[in-house]
Amino acid sequence: HYIRFLYLVSMLSCGSGFLGNAQQKNPKPNIVYIMSDDHAYQAISAYGHGLNQTPHIDRLAQEGLKFTRATVTNSLCAPSRAVLLTGKHSFVNGKIDNMAKFDWNQDNFAKMLQKHGYQTALIGKIHMDGLPQGFDHSAVLIDQGEYYNPNFVINGHKQQLTGYVTDLTTDMVIDWIDKRDSEKPFCVLYHQKAPHREWLPALRHIQSYTATTYPEPATLFDDFQGRGTAAKSAEMNILNHMNWAGDSKVPPPLMDELGLKEYMKWDKAAYTNNLGRMTEEERKSWDAVYNPIMETFKAQYPNMTSRELLQWRYQRYMQDYMGTVAAVDEGVGKLLDYLKANGLEENTIVIYTSDQGFYLGEHGWFDKRFMYEESLRTPLLIRYPKEIPAGKTSNALVQNLDFAPTLLDFAGVEIPADIQGESFRTLAAGKDSLWRDAVYYTYYEYPSIHMVKRHYGIRTDRYKLIHFYYDVDEWELYDLEKDPNELSNVYEDPDYAAIKKHMTKKLQDVRKKYKDSGQNDARYIPVE
């Protein structure tokens, strides 16, 4: 009777809803950290680009806070995940690129939460070898993972699951929350593979998404005048550097018939392997939609100009990319509905983000890596009704470096002194708080796929300074207010001499603050 009484009182006093008994006894918030892979903010309708609809992800913006200038410190999958876990820059946590080994023995925020009574789980893509540490439960994809009937490594044991990867990931997250010990707070990292290359949407989405025409970005036909060698030599062009079979879904026999060459030597194999994972039934449904598209392409191809070919490939890319986003969005809806139906809505922090931004045809590109806006910035929405007012927007320069300290802060765990990020808890609550005026960025994976040169730099409210190094020594300065598409490098422009000086000094300060140096860059030049 006593417990019942308390329960009634809590229901009355909280007004807005139901709180389970467990949460009364333990006020620590639960955490659902949702991170997709390569999800451009341009592909979330709450960000207002008008390309697609993501009603469920948008709920987090309506009921929570939307950051418009959240950035990553190194725009690549595995390094981004290492930064998330450690709260430290790549040159400190050691995971500088997708190839470097991640040392799971170092501390991470999940380990710290565990020590403070949290139940923790990691479900989906992690893209790092070794058994994840800091998690009571892990179900992770191998490397990039697969879209159809994917292999998962569940607590160290490999297993092929039946179904579509995005749906499976969502269901495993909900299932884990459902079966948890409700006496303890929980933290789950819900990491979708989608919308990562090679963009295979779920069958329920292919019909409508392949029938959609997307507006072309203003810079689709960018010729890179006004920029340096790095932008000119990157291999991310939709026309020239995408795979015909794996990406554009032109079947290998049709490639041969039309004389289309493999750009990457695994192109045809990627197509065969990806589609080869489908059951016969699944493959039939897929072919019913894609075969007619390829028939039309076959007829049109001989008369297409290279401009038209780029336009066709851009549409194909966007259709499949957006198709994979659709299932991600539905998953978020399912998860939010689950939290609500189970009285977990009030006491659970829900974050939606991506491991980095992505090019959706801007500059003619796909992929990421660059410190230019589309790949530097990442979507970030956070909902926690207890502290964060609904429907607000923040343009503060937060980074993925800040997740670990922020989540520790929310959980009431002391933030270790060697963590380099800062908690944005107070900021998110809309309270006055001092915040950084510049973010620091580093990128190392070169020479490698997409050939984006090594660089580092800072971005402030208005300006961006980048240094490309290793096999070039080039500086770029952008005025983001006058030139939001970053088309004109003003580093040598005398009108910007004072800004250049100021930004150069700021960059030196920031490198000092994070303990980066020319020596760090030298460390990553492989010895021949």
| Contact set with Ca ion (CB under 5 A) | 37-38, 77, 355
CB 99 within 8 A of CB 433: no
Using CA atoms, how far residue 80 sits from 71, 94, 387, in Å, is 11, 12, 27
**Selected binder of ligand SGN within 59, 69, 95, 127 (CB under 6 A):** 127
Residue 367 interacts with ligand SGN (CB under 6 A): yes or no:
yes
Paired with 456 in beta bridges are: 442, 467
Residue 81 interacts with ligand SGN (CB under 6 A): yes or no:
no
Token pair of 174, please? 């909900």
Site for ligand SGN in 433-472 (CB under 6 A): 449-450
Residue 77 interacts with ligand SGN (CB under 6 A): yes or no:
yes
CB 503 within 8 A of CB 458: yes
CB nearer to ligand SGN: pick between 77 and 203: 77
Token pair of 232, please? 């000119």
CA-based angle 507:510:513, to the nearest 5? Answer: 155
Which residue, 379, 323, 381, is CA-closest to 356?
379
**441: region left, alpha or beta (phi > 0 left; psi from -120 to 50 alpha):** beta
Look at residue 449 and give the partner it binds from Ca ion, ligand SGN, none, a contact being a CB closer than 5 to 8 Å depending on partner kind: ligand SGN
Rounded distance, CA 360 to CA 363, Å?
Answer: 9
**Selected binder of ligand SGN within 197, 205, 268, 377 (CB under 6 A):** 197
CB 444 within 8 A of CB 90: yes
> At its nearest, how many Å lie between ligand SGN and the CB of residue 445?
8
> At its nearest, how many Å lie between ligand SGN and the CB of residue 396?
25
Q: Which window, 166-174, 182-190, 195-203, 491-499, contacts ligand SGN (CB under 6 A)? A: 195-203
> At its nearest, how many Å lie between ligand SGN and the CB of residue 79?
8
Site for ligand SGN in 217-256 (CB under 6 A): 246
> At its nearest, how many Å lie between ligand SGN and the CB of residue 324?
13
Q: Which residues of 112-230 form beta strands (DSSP E)?
A: 119-124, 137-141, 151-154, 157-160, 186-191
3-state class (DSSP) for residue 84: helix
Q: Which window, 103-111, 161-169, 192-200, 373-381, contacts ligand SGN (CB under 6 A)? A: 192-200
Look at residue 198 and give the partner it binds from Ca ion, ligand SGN, none, a contact being a CB closer than 5 to 8 Å depending on partner kind: ligand SGN
Token pair of 62, please? 């309506």
**Selected binder of ligand SGN within 28, 31, 35, 37 (CB under 6 A):** 37
CB nearer to ligand SGN: pick between 354 and 489: 354
Q: Among all residues, whose Cβ is closest to ligand SGN?
A: 77
Cβ atoms within 10 Å of 12's Cβ, excluding its own = 8
Write the CB contacts of 1 (distance below 8 Å, at least 6 apart in sequence): none
CB nearer to Ca ion: pick between 72 and 174: 72
List of residues contacting ligand SGN (CB under 6 A): 37-38, 76-77, 98, 127, 144, 196-198, 246, 264, 367, 449-450
